[in-house]
């Protein structure tokens, strides 16, 4: 009888992931202590590293949920090691999301672990596998914003505060985009098991273009404004002010020149 287990080596955390996490931790320390002569570069390393860590956890959540839902091939593919180089499309899962963060401050959805859906029985399991990734982004956003909604920002350096706010913005935007019921995104994967076979067959050819269509629509000024208003509303409910995310992005773009640390006034 086969069980949803993996060999010990299949679960061992990859040195690649540990290296990324270590760089993130050191950069975070540099931001907190104001150790770096260029705080913008430290913010860039910290936010980018934390963003890649969240992408790895996003894919891990898909894989781990699939494993316990019946796809016992997951471990052999290396998805449980958190190694981004093991993904089916590292370009889609890591490189493009980082580029979009640098260009526009948008959390591009990842999504490149191959799951053998034929091994999994039950519509609820299929939906949960798809939802597991963006739910990880939601959890990451809650953790990043905890100092804000817990009102424990006293003693937190301003630059670190702004970096956390910008990182939270990326997580919220990724969660919103991922949960859109558009073919090719996790949101569609949540509802797909509940659609008729005929509808699934008709929609299937459009899946590779779903993400491109979403970003094409986001170029429309009205839609773009609505999208970022929605992000600001969510962050506002979590105690994060637009002031924090704005300056977080300013520090992140260190190549434009390091801004002077502003003083926030209500």
Catalytic residues: 59
Residues 6+ apart with CB under 8 A from 214: 177, 180, 182, 185
As a three-state string, the secondary structure of 178-193 is: HCCCCCCCHHHHHHHH
In 3D, which of 123, 114, 12, 133 has the Cα closest to residue 73? 114
Q: Is 150 helix (H, G, I), strand (E, B) or coil?
A: coil
d(CA 165, CA 156): 12
Residue 57 and residue 20: Cα distance in Å, rounded?
12
Three-state DSSP class for 258?
A: coil
**d(C-alpha 133, C-alpha 208), whole Å:** 18
Judged on CB neighbours under 10 Å (0-12, 13-18, 19+), 221 is exposed
Query: Taking a C-beta distance cutoff of 8 angstroms, is the pair 178, 187 a contact?
Result: yes
């Amino acid at each position: 009888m086969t069980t949803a287990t993996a060999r010990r080596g299949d679960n061992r955390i990859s040195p690649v992931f540990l290296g990324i996490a270590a760089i993130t931790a050191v950069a975070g320390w540099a931001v907190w202590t104001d150790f770096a002569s260029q705080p913008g570069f430290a913010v860039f390393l910290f936010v980018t590293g934390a963003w890649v860590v969240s992408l790895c956890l996003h894919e891990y959540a898909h894989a781990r949920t699939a494993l316990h839902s019946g796809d016992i091939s997951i471990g052999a593919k290396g998805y449980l090691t958190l190694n981004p180089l093991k993904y089916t499309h590292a370009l889609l899962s890591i490189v493009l999301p980082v580029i979009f963060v640098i260009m526009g401050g948008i959390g591009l959805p990842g999504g490149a672990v191959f799951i053998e859906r034929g091994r999994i029985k039950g519509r609820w399991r299929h939906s949960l596998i798809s939802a597991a990734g963006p739910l990880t982004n939601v959890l990451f956003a809650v953790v990043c914003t905890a100092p804000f909604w817990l009102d424990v920002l006293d003693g937190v350096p301003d630059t670190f505060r702004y970096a956390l706010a910008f990182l939270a913005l990326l997580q919220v935007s990724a969660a919103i985009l991922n949960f859109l019921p558009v073919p090719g995104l996790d949101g569609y994967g949540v509802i797909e098991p509940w659609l008729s076979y005929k509808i699934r067959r008709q929609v299937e050819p459009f899946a590779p273009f779903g993400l491109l269509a979403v970003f094409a629509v986001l170029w429309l000024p009205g839609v773009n404004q609505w999208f970022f208003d929605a992000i600001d509303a969510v962050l506002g409910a979590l105690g994060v002010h637009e002031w924090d995310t704005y300056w977080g992005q300013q520090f992140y773009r260190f190549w434009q020149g390091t801004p002077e640390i502003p003083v926030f006034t209500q």
